[in-house]
């Protein structure tokens, strides 16, 4: 038997050599008596079975235990991940072919292998299923997209004067974390208001330790100046505690305390102190006024609502913590149009909380399947009881209705954007007489100053707009390129981009037709571009086409040049397409505006990458170029001499006088700055 032990005692039965080994299982798993299908070294199924017949063979040896199953096609790609209370009963449904939708029937037909993991309970199976779906992204599952982590507010706990920061990622630093917030902008606005209300520092510890006088934030009453002891440690600790209380839901107590202090100062005729408390109260009111609705009966909850129409699902999520609204976000999961809104929401929830903290209460717009199982699984993961409700009346129902309205509005905007993008891509096809509607357009541009810090930028657009996760930058590395040679830079970018694409993906299969099938919609965003847009005229296009011909991919990618018009005026661009004379488009043509937007985005990205590289070069310290000079020795030299320039002018004896700098190191530093030094 080819099973292999998991860290927690479970057994994973692997019938395919192409499957990943690092499967994560929540909780204990029990061994499964599933016998594998015979495979040869190439990973082919020697039984000759496919689809329902193959699944039927597996069913004969499956246990009546809870677990997770995976279905694979002939190439070893994961088609689907599912969980079951009873593996034998669940998988047998696929073999019997009962009540299968077109989507499921197609998935069964493509199945060439399966894999199983048994778990101790169904809740563990649910958590493992969500983990695998997020990692493997099977095309027949509902997939959560735009799954970046949420930002938090961190009040540090490892310093005598705690600071307040925006935090994203692992909670490695000691301190108190408050969140999640829906966006970095929401965190930034809240921190700005909290600075005015509680005067907590936002500087780094290194800056804090080197201050000899208060900074500008102290002067404009945004910090209490703990760095130079403008406030006592006890007084500062009191401010920090008030901030924690406010973020922990005790906002009314904090405001009442401030109001009392303001009135007391006014009675003592200390109007300056009373004005300070007045401004702090105004800052707290500003925080709460920008949080929208703040229901009194919802202390800690996430509220989910789905609007499902036109083949697109929009799930709107509102976050409530400590009785305050901390923002909302819209998601558009990838799901088969035949699925109902409840089915999409059900699949979405477990994936959403796979790597996020779970609140004590979750409110939904509609009932989902196995709601009690989901609550139990999330409670087991969070370590506290989780309640999932579909409120029918009262304040909570009003709250859910508000979230539904937001989901409906976001859905409408997305539908309009998608339809508009589809029309533009169709118009793009007609304008340039392409054989098919492009699904992936790559736009290239270079940026440099007199050839220095040269960077090539690539942005990507598709049916849903710009795909920022696919953007790439190319630091120009060739030493043979003359500074300012745009043709040479573009040749390097094209060579590096398509040489790597050929190596990783191979040549694309172009049949010259638009693939609008449901199967095409299931596939991931294509790796190969249908069209590349080059910011340049005939010269640039000659260089690009020479590279494409050298790589043998002129029939795989259509290259189009976009030259700036007379006097570089927008609207008078010239286009250079294959097998036709250059031409311009009418000034108000929607396709012209579309191309201008693509080119401007490429220009923005290339310039931003160039500026970042230039800034990095400008702040690079000359001491970084000396071998054997690490952070500690560099710090010692800079503290002793003040600047790198002073170090370069120092005599050998002065360098040797620095603590931690030996004679050998001092001589190495001296020789680096003095080429004529004695060897």
- Alpha helices, H only, 433-485: none
The C-alpha atoms of residue 257 and residue 243 are separated, in whole angstroms, by 12
- The predicted pLDDT at position 464 comes to 81
> Which ranges in 184-305 belong to alpha helices (H)?
184-198, 205-210, 216-219, 233-247, 251-267, 271-289
Task: Calculate helix-pair angle for 271-289, 251-267, nearest 10 degrees.
Answer: 160
pLDDT of residue 438: 92
301-413 CATH, one of 3.30.450.20, 3.30.420.10, 3.30.700.30, 3.40.1710.10:
3.30.420.10
- The confidence score (pLDDT) of residue 81 equals 93
Is 435-616 assigned to CATH 3.30.420.340? yes
* Torsion, Cα of 118, 120, 123, 125 (10° steps): -10
> Top-level CATH class of 622-673?
mainly alpha
Calpha distance 496→494 (Å, rounded): 6
Q: How many other C-beta atoms lie within 10 A of the C-beta of residue 53?
A: 12
Amino acid 41: pLDDT: 31
CB 333 within 8 A of CB 348: yes
- Nearest CA to 445 among 476, 466, 420? 476
Give the pTM. 0.60
Instruction: Tell me what pLDDT residue 452 has.
Output: 65
Mark the ranges of the chain whose per-residue pLDDT is less than 50. Answer: 1-45, 290-292, 512-522, 678-679
Domain assignments of the chain as residue spans, ordered by start = 3-136, 152-289, 301-413, 435-616, 622-673
Phi, psi of 532 (to 5 degrees): -120, 130
For 354, 373, 658, the CA distances from 126, given in Å and listed in that order, are: 10, 8, 62
- Residues in the chain, total: 679
Query: In this predicted structure, what is the pLDDT of residue 460?
Result: 93
CA distances in angstroms from 477 to 470, 489, 496, 610, listed in the order given: 21, 9, 11, 13
In angstroms, the CA 452 to CA 434 distance is 37
Homologous superfamily (CATH) of 3-136 is GIY-YIG endonuclease (3.40.1440.10)
Q: Do domains 3-136 and 622-673 have the same CATH topology?
A: no
Predicted local confidence at residue 309, as pLDDT: 80
The 10s digit of each residue's pLDDT in 120-139 is 888 888 888 888 888 888 88
CB of 475 closer than 8 Å to CB of 486: no
Q: Helix (H, G, I), strand (E, B), or coil: what is residue 393?
A: coil
| Torsional class of 451: left (φ above 0), alpha (ψ -120 to 50), beta (otherwise) | left
**In whole angstroms, what is the distance from residue 470 CA to residue 191 CA?**
32
Specify the 3-state DSSP secondary structure of 326: strand
Between CA 54 and CA 565 the distance in angstroms is 62
């Amino acid at each position: 038997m080819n099973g292999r032990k998991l860290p927690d005692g479970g057994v994973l039965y692997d019938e395919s050599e192409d499957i990943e080994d690092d499967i994560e299982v929540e909780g204990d798993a029990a061994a499964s008596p599933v016998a594998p299908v015979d495979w040869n070294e190439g990973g082919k199924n020697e039984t000759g079975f496919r689809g329902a017949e193959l699944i039927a063979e597996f069913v004969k040896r499956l246990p009546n235990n809870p677990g997770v199953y995976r279905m694979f096609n002939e190439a070893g790609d994961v088609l689907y991940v599912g969980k079951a209370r009873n593996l034998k009963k669940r998988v047998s449904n696929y073999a019997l072919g009962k009540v299968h939708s077109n989507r499921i029937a197609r998935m069964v037909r493509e199945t060439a292998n399966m894999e199983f993991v048994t778990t101790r309970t169904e809740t563990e199976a649910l958590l493992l299923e969500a983990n695998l779906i997020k990692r493997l992204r099977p095309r027949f599952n509902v997939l959560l997209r735009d799954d970046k982590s949420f930002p938090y507010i961190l009040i540090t706990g490892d310093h005598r004067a705690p600071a307040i920061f925006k935090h994203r990622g692992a909670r490695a630093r000691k301190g108190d974390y408050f969140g999640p917030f829906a966006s970095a902008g929401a965190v930034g606005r809240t921190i700005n208001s909290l600075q005015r209300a509680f005067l907590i520092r936002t500087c780094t510890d290194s800056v804090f330790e080197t201050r000899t006088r208060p900074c500008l934030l102290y002067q404009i009453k945004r910090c209490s100046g703990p760095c130079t002891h403008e406030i006592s440690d006890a007084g500062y600790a009191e401010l920090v505690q008030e901030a924690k209380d406010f973020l922990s839901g005790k906002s009314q107590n904090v405001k009442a305390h401030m109001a009392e202090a303001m009135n007391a100062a006014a009675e003592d005729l200390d109007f300056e102190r009373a004005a300070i408390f007045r401004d702090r109260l105004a800052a707290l009111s500003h925080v709460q006024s920008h949080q929208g609705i703040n229901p009194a009966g919802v202390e800690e909850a996430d509220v989910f609502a789905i609007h499902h129409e036109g083949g697109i699902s929009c799930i709107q999520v509102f976050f409530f913590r400590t009785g305050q609204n901390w923002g909302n976000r819209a998601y558009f999961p990838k799901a088969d149009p035949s699925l109902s809104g409840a089915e999409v929401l059900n699949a979405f929830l477990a994936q959403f909380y796979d790597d996020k903290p779970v609140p004590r209460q979750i409110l939904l717009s509609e009932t989902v399947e196995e709601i009690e199982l989901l609550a139990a699984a999330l409670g087991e993961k969070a370590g506290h009881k989780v309640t999932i409700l579909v409120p029918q009346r009262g304040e909570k129902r009003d709250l859910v209705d508000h979230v539904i309205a937001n989901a409906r509005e976001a859905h409408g905007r997305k539908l309009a954007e998608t339809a508009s993008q589809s029309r533009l891509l169709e118009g793009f096809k007609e304008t340039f007489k392409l054989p098919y509607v492009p699904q992936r357009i790559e736009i290239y541009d270079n940026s440099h100053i007199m050839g220095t810090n040269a960077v090539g930028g690539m942005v990507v657009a598709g049916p849903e707009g710009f795909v920022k996760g696919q953007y790439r930058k190319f630091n120009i590395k060739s030493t043979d390129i003359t500074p300012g040679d745009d043709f040479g830079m573009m040749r390097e970018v094209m060579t590096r981009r398509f040489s790597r694409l050929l190596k990783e993906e191979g040549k694309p299969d172009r049949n010259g037709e638009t693939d609008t099938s449901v199967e095409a919609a299931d596939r991931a965003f294509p790796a190969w571009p249908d069209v590349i847009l080059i910011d340049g005229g005939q010269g640039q296009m000659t260089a690009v086409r020479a590279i494409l011909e050298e790589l043998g991919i002129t029939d795989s990618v259509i290259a189009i040049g976009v030259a700036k018009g007379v006097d570089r005026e927008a609207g008078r661009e010239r286009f250079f397409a294959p097998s036709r004379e250059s031409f311009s488009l009418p000034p108000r043509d929607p396709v012209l505006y579309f191309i201008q937007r693509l080119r401007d985005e490429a220009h923005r990205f290339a310039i931003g990458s160039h500026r970042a590289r230039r800034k990095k070069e400008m702040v690079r310290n000359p001491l970084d170029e000396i071998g054997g000079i690490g952070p500690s020795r560099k710090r010692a030299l800079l503290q002793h001499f003040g600047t790198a320039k002073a170090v370069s002018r120092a005599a050998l004896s002065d360098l040797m006088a620095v603590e931690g700098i030996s004679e050998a190191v001092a001589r190495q530093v001296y020789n680096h700055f003095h080429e004529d030094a004695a060897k």
